[in-house]
A and B are shown apart, each in its own frame.
Chain A
């Protein structure tokens, strides 16, 4: 079964760091381009970052320079390293795999990140 399972969310103080993980099963992370998408409480979806199969990475302007997307091929796992966290980064973070093009058909269950003192 094709599945994504996120972990690593939690409560962190402003300025702190957190690393999210997204374990994949049923397919190979390195063969796909994978994205992170977040959703602030009561708000809409916001694309955060993508890593292509070749390793190129891209970020939304709101997180550029603070977040880093990466993957571990041996663990078939996607990561999101989040530094210099702000209150506005509070959200459920989803990892997602595209069906084709830029349409995401496989989503994880999400992991909540709360940035608060």
Chain B
């Protein structure tokens, strides 16, 4: 399986909104509603932010939202805060018990 495609970097000012895209194929993103998103700060383990395309785990602020259209999933962060600066990874079930991650997007809060 090939990695899902994400932009290498995005940026936004505090209070603004940013959207990170994640493009796959009909065999992964487009084929299942099992897209998740992870936030990773340097030197830390990933943290689950969104699962099943648009659901938020307990404790994740509602500033984080997810969606999907066809083979592309998106993570939107509204009301950007300094602590949102991190790497973000999308992830999708790809069938046959396999999971595939995106290449990661570095979010910079200006």
Contacts and interface: CB of A to CB of B under 8 A. Distances in A.
B70 interface: no
Given A45-B40, A58-B97, 7 more contacts: A47-B98, A52-B97, A56-B97, A60-B98, A61-B1, A99-B57, A102-B92
Contacts of A58: 96-98
Interface in A13-47: 35, 37, 44-47
Contacts of B89: 44-45
Interface of A: 35, 37, 44-47, 50, 52, 56, 58, 60-61, 94, 99-105, 107-110
Contact of B104 (A35, A44, A60, A101): A44
Nearest to B105: A44
A103 B99 CA distance: 10
Interface residues of B, number: 26
Interface string B53-78: 00001000000000000000000000
Interface string B86-97: 000101110011
Given A100-B52, A101-B51, A102-B93, A45 B46 contact: yes
A56 B98 CA distance: 12
Interface in B12-63: 34, 36, 38, 40, 45-48, 51-52, 57
